[in-house]
Structures are given as structure tokens and as C-alpha cells.
Amino acid sequence: MTASVLPLLAITLGDVAGVGPEITAKALLVNPDLREECIPVVIGDADAMRRGAAEAGLDPEAVRVISSPRDATNDPGLIEIVQVGDSLADVPVGELSGKAGNGAYLFVVEACRLAREGEVDAIVTAPLNKAAMHAGGHTWPGHTELLAHEFGVENFSLVLSAGDFYLFHLTAHVSLQQAIRDCTPERADDVLTLAGAFLKARGKQNQAIGFCGLNPHAGENRIFGDEDADVIAPAVQRARERGINAHGPLPADAVIPAAVRGKWQTVIACYHDQGHAPFKAVYGDDGVNITIGLPVVRVSVDHGTAFDIAGQGIAREASLVLACRRAAELAPGWESVWEAASGSSSVHSA
């Protein structure tokens, strides 16, 4: 693939008090073969990026500020960065900082602007800290919801992925009590529509989708709650009537282990930890976080800011490298994914 047709990735630096700068430096300077798949441009703060490079034992002089992503040379010996806002050089490493949280927010907003204007083909996000972002005055639950707001979309899903396994989430960054309240017919229809559209766009419209039950044993014939019978089962039936090969509700403790063994490639979890806990236990650095329902590809690392090890030079960049590779892989065909997702309408219960 020639440089002119490589996907251009906007890599947001995340919270500069965390491991984002370090893993970004390692991803871009220690993995030169990544440049054969994409053109990575960092959206963030140059001083924090230089510090991250130094912490990783790499040359801080490799950081080069450019005015636009289109100015990138894709030199494997350089970290090319678009400066956003004022310098964050004085932000202490490993400490929660509203200034760093505000910076992380601004990096994402700028990446979204660049994507909307067609200057980048995909967004890859290093981790931000939600408490720091809130301290900086931006009360979004996380990256996913902020991105959805910036692109003006209402139907979206946080999707964990490893290889060909995609784990959609009915709800994500809310309390468990709120997740139960949010398990509605409308949301079940919407996430099934997203999953079905994603499969259709990839030529896998007949692939089975396993829908985890909300309650233990998927409710066990209403012994452990009514949500599975009253909300999920009817949504699955409506999806099947729309041509989506959905199955459920199924006990999560059976579906997810079966998916790990290859029986299911697409699964819907009802709440954050129902999906995240087993996924991270199995896949670790081999997993990434994709947002389905946006007009542009967004892939993230599947870990947090790791304040406890920030600045020590020991953070692993594997998840960020994988996120870049997955974004580069998805970007060329994403228009069809977006068209399928935005053009599909779910059938809500009355």
C-alpha cells in the first residue's frame, strides 16, 4: 500500500498525567512496521509528548509539531503532533489533574473536528481519566458518550473486540441500578439494529448474535426477574422478524465462555462489567474498544490511565498498537458500516 492511500489516524494523547504519552511514544517509535498500515498523527500536547518519549527511553527530539494532519510525512523516526491548547508541561505525572482532564477533552474534540472535515480517516484514543475530565469541567461519562455528542448521534454502542469477536454493550458507563432501568425495549431494539447493521456491512448478515440475559440464568423463567422475558426476548423476536439472526436471552455465564471458544462471534452484554470483566480477563492487551454508530472509525485501548505506573517507562503499548492496526483495517470500509447503521430503523414497542 502506498503512503498516499494509507488511512490517516488521529491519535488523541489522552490524559497526559497517565501512561498515554509513554505508550504513544513506544507505539510510534518502536513499531516502525505500523507505518506500512497507516499514517499516525498525534492530537495533543507536544511538551507532554516529549516527556513521554523521554520516560520511555526514547528521543524527545523525535517529536515534531505540524499544523495539519495532511502535513505528516509518516517518517518512522518521528512523532508528528498537532498541538491543541496551551502547554501541559507543568502537569504532574501520576496525579489526578483537572488541567490534564481538560486537555484530554480538548484533544478528542479536535480529533472529531478533523474527522468531520475529512482531514483524518479514523480516531484512535489513548486513555483519559473520567474524574480528571470532570474536574476539568466536562461531565461526560467517558470517551464513547463524548464522541457520540460531537458527531450528533444517539444510537451507538461500546464494542469490545479481539480478533473476530465483537462484544456489544446494551449499557455502559452508568451505575448498575441505572443499567437495569436503561434495559428498555427501545434500547434493546437499537443495539440489535447496530449489531445487525455492522454484520451486514461486513457481508456477514447471517451470522448469529447472542444476547446475554440481564439476570442470572437469563431470568430462569422469571424466577430471577422479569426483564429477560418482558424486554429482551420480545426484542430478539422483533430483530428476527427484521432478518437479524439474533438469539436470546441466553445466560451470560454460558454465552461468553462459548464465544471465547469460537461458538459466537457477536454477543450483546447488558451492562458494563457483564462484558468488560470476562473480556479483559481473557484478552488483556489483545483487545480494543470500538464505537459502533459513529460516522468515523474510533478505536481505543482497552485499559485506563494507570496513574500508579505513569512515568516509570514500564507501560506496555501493545493495546495502542493493536488499536491503530484495527482502525487502519476498518477505515477503508467504514462508510458502508455507517450507512448501514444510520440507514437502519429499529421497531420499538408501543
pLDDT in tens, 251-271: 999 999 999 999 999 999 999
Task: Based on the fold, state whether residues 144 and 230 are members of the same structural domain.
Answer: no
Look at residue 303 in the predicted model and tell me its pLDDT: 86
**∠ CA 44-46-48, rounded to 5°:** 85
Indicate the residue among 273, 292, 311 that finishes a domain: 292
Is residue 210 one of the residues assigned to a domain? yes
Distance of CA 237 to the CA centre of its chain: 29
Task: Based on the fold, state whether residues 104 and 239 are members of the same structural domain.
Answer: no
Is residue 341 one of the residues assigned to a domain? no
Band (125; pLDDT cuts 50, 70, 90)? very high
Poorest-confidence range of 17-21, 170-174, 341-345?
341-345
Is the pLDDT at 287 greater than 90, yes or no? no
130 three-state secondary structure? helix
- According to DSSP, residue 159 is labeled E
Write out the residue range of the structural domain in which residue 69 sits: 1-153+297-329
Is residue 349 one of the residues assigned to a domain? no
Look at residue 343 in the predicted model and tell me its pLDDT: 67
Provide the CATH number for the domain around residue 288.
3.40.718.10
- According to DSSP, residue 305 is labeled -
Band (286; pLDDT cuts 50, 70, 90)? confident
At 117, which helix (H) or strand (E)? none
Distance of CA 315 to the CA centre of its chain: 19
Look at residue 51 in the predicted model and tell me its pLDDT: 97
Distance of CA 83 to the CA centre of its chain: 23
Residue 103 has which C-alpha cell?
486537555
User: 144 with 291: CB under 8 angstroms?
Assistant: yes
Count up the domains in the chain and report the number: 2
Is residue 345 one of the residues assigned to a domain? no
Identity of residue 174: V
Q: State mean pLDDT over 303-322.
A: 93
Look at residue 4 in the predicted model and tell me its pLDDT: 53
Task: Based on the fold, state whether residues 116 and 207 are members of the same structural domain.
Answer: no
- CB atoms under 10 Å from CB of 348, counted, come to 14
Look at residue 250 in the predicted model and tell me its pLDDT: 98
User: 88 with 103: CB under 8 angstroms?
Assistant: yes
Is residue 92 one of the residues assigned to a domain? yes
Q: State mean pLDDT over 43-71.
A: 97
Is residue 144 one of the residues assigned to a domain? yes
Look at residue 339 in the predicted model and tell me its pLDDT: 84
Task: Based on the fold, state whether residues 316 and 211 are members of the same structural domain.
Answer: no
Indicate the residue among 292, 312, 337 that finishes a domain: 292
Is residue 348 one of the residues assigned to a domain? no
Task: Based on the fold, state whether residues 1 and 148 are members of the same structural domain.
Answer: yes
Q: State mean pLDDT over 183-187.
A: 96
Task: Based on the fold, state whether residues 79 and 119 are members of the same structural domain.
Answer: yes
- CB atoms under 10 Å from CB of 256, counted, come to 24
Task: Based on the fold, state whether residues 164 and 113 are members of the same structural domain.
Answer: no
Task: Based on the fold, state whether residues 5 and 144 are members of the same structural domain.
Answer: yes
The mean predicted confidence, pLDDT, of the chain is 93
Look at residue 346 in the predicted model and tell me its pLDDT: 47
Q: State mean pLDDT over 229-248.
A: 97
- According to DSSP, residue 31 is labeled -
Task: Based on the fold, state whether residues 167 and 251 are members of the same structural domain.
Answer: yes
Is the pLDDT at 3 greater than 90, yes or no? no
Look at residue 349 in the predicted model and tell me its pLDDT: 37
- CB atoms under 10 Å from CB of 95, counted, come to 12
Burial class for 153, CB neighbours closer than 10 Å (0-12, 13-18, 19+): middle
Task: Based on the fold, state whether residues 139 and 247 are members of the same structural domain.
Answer: no
Q: What are phi and psi of 271, to 5 degrees?
A: -150, 165
Look at residue 344 in the predicted model and tell me its pLDDT: 56
Is residue 239 one of the residues assigned to a domain? yes
Residue ranges with strand state E in the chain: 8-12, 39-44, 63-65, 79-83, 122-125, 157-162, 165-169, 209-212, 246-250, 266-269, 288-292, 297-301
Task: Based on the fold, state whether residues 149 and 161 are members of the same structural domain.
Answer: no
Is the pLDDT at 326 greater than 50, yes or no? yes
Choose between 302 and 106: higher pLDDT: 106
Task: Based on the fold, state whether residues 127 and 263 are members of the same structural domain.
Answer: no
Look at residue 342 in the predicted model and tell me its pLDDT: 77
